[in-house]
Copies of this chain bind each other. A is one copy, B any other.
């Protein structure tokens, strides 16, 4: 539906704001609101109205003069555009504390991430299920990926083995890695790497708190 060219031109800050708009219009839709103006979105989310109009211009939707955007359509278009309506098969490596926590979070499923298998080296965990997801021996990574057509590998292993497991994942043919470890991982070849460093965000928050003098 969307042109590859359109996607390619999308600035990253816009892509970071789109989920805010989606959350807001989903709320409006659930509340039965039919139309919303960029001025109202701007006021509620504290983003400049002209910026919102510009961001939404990347989508295949037009607002009506003096009425605004159709809420249900805008929600649908944003969900499609952000990839949340499509199911993306993923495998998670490392079911310690954080890995198990992510498996238990139903939110990921709602946003299109379908974790189909978990991998670990702990003999007591292998063969069990966590939140309904089977845990396999880490050595079976490549087979499991292929059998279950998983494109995304989620990395929640201890930092000591993060690079080793990254190399295994690259070798196994994953197209994207979602790295939750606090270390920077190196990859060779064509693979998308996305970092969500929860602990690094903590450091940023502590630092701002210390600086603020509140």
Oligomer: number of copies: 2
- Report if A146 contacts B (CB, 8 A): no
Distance to closest chain B CB from A83 (angstroms): 3
Q: Once the chains bind, are B26 and A159 in contact (CB under 8 Å)?
A: yes
Contact residue among B112, B159, B205, B208 (Cβ-Cβ distance under 8 Å from A206): B112
Q: Does A82 contact B (CB under 8 A)?
A: yes
Pairwise interchain contact A204-B46, C-beta atoms closer than 8 A: no
A54 within 8 A of B: no
A47 and B196 CA atoms in complex are apart in Å by 18
Known A-B contacts A4-B211, A15-B207, A107-B98; the reply to A113 vs B190 at CB < 8 A is no
Q: Tell me if B100 and A182 are in contact (CB < 8 A).
A: no
Contacts of A172 in B (CB 8 A): none
Instruction: Classify the interface of chain A: helix, strand, loop or mixed.
Output: helix
Task: Give how many A residues have a beta carbon under 8 Å from the other chain's beta carbons.
Answer: 73
B12 engages A204 (CB within 8 Å): yes
Q: Which of A1-30 contact B (CB under 8 A)?
A: 4, 7-8, 10, 12, 15-16, 18-20, 22-24, 26-27, 30
Contact with B along A175-194 (1 / 0, CB 8 A): 11010011110100011101
Query: What separation, in Å, do the CA atoms of A181 and B159 have in the docked complex?
Result: 27
- Residues of chain B within 8 A (CB-CB) of A82 are 203, 206-207
Residues of B within 8 A of A16 (CB): 200, 204
Of chain B, the residue at the smallest CB distance from A47 is: B184
Q: Which residue of B lies closest to A78 (CB)?
A: B203
Closest to A103 in B: B101
Bound together, the chains give a CA A105 to CA B196 distance in angstroms of 15
Whether B152 and A205, one on each chain, are in contact in the complex, defined by CB atoms closer than 8 angstroms, is: yes
Is B196 touching A198 in the complex (CB atoms < 8 A)?
Answer: yes
